[in-house]
Structure 1
């Protein structure tokens, strides 16, 4: 039943913000989701019956009033997805089925999964030490001159350096 609820929330947000893309609306929903229930309790990971973390539950439960005014959104466009699919090495037939047009991936800037401007970040970890620079572009859709502080959650076996602690 989540799908019709999400679709309804997306329709409400689109009504309030008609110029926002689907990606901006998705970002608003993801970044404002709650990680506690209505009583203020953390959600339970049904696998081990302990309080869940973001890796077990995803973004959390939709909070429609907060999603209406998220402050920041991470936007993407059609060409970003083309570059993403080319980076995943989709073949020309599959690309045409998905996009409805012929795509020549040799002429497109490939986008690695970690570089797609999505509210969360996915990086493949290996046993070898490696460095990767991840970039995100956030758009302020809230009050002018607002200040935002990033919330970083990562696995214990990974280290992270953030280039800025305030947006």
Structure 2
């Protein structure tokens, strides 16, 4: 929860309001992507009052580890002392790395559409209404449901994010979902998506 608070409230602009920059080669600077800066520069004051947090616990990270291609159940058991959870039942979608309830979304090979859920818990002091704003990565459409929701302190809401390839490419595209609350909270979730024309391991 602390990690989420730090990440979702990070700044993506400097004190002058200009985008954070990254050195790409030599002295060439370009606007930084999530692969350069993570979620941005820590804003300690805002992190103390994030409004919403995304809570991932031990079992969530265990499921994430068990979904990594090439990692077998025996290796997981030796490493962390706990077995992989039983696989989903027949007809259920397989677990994917993008299912981890992290304050970012990364999909390394998007073919067609994929639904990603994020679970948001209110740590605010008051009831608050949030509205979702989307900046979609290149080659991808993003639909967020609900696009507006009210949440009370301590409650958890599910945010359903549907990513759809609109133009397959050969590079990651970057975007974000920004949840703005009517009590002045702002929660930013970066998106990094590779819109692929063929299937591969995530």
| TM-score bracket relative to the smaller structure | 0.7 to 0.9
Higher strand proportion: 2
- Aligned pairs (5 A) from 1:18-33: 24-33=1-10
Are the equivalent residues in 2 in contact too, given 1:92–1:102 (CA < 8 A)? no
- Pick from 114, 123, 146: which aligns with 1:141? 123
Residue 114 (1) aligns with residue 98 (2): yes
TM-score of the superposition, structure 1-length normalised? 0.73
Contact 1:34 1:63 in 2 (8 A): yes
> Residue 71 of structure 1 aligns with which residue?
51
- Give the counterpart of 1:83 among 63, 75, 78: 63
Say which SS state the counterpart of residue 49 (structure 1) adopts. strand
Whether 1:36 aligns to 2:13 is: yes
Rounded to whole Å, the distance in 2 between the matches of 1:41 and 1:142 is 29
Distance 1:108 1:144 in 2: 39
**Of Structure 1 and Structure 2, which has the larger fraction of its residues in helix?**
1
Consecutive unaligned residues of structure 2, counting only runs of 5 or more, are 89-93, 150-202
Q: What is the RMSD of the two structures over their aligned residues, measured on CA atoms?
A: 2.2
Q: Distance in 1 between matches of 2:143 and 2:101?
A: 18
1:125 and 1:71, CA in 2 relative to 1: closer, same or farther beyond 3 A?
Answer: same
Normalised to the residue count of structure 2, the TM-score between the two structures is 0.61
1:40 deviation in Å? 2.5
The structure showing larger relative contact order (alpha-carbon pairs under 8 Å, at least 6 residues apart) is 2
Number of matched residues? 140
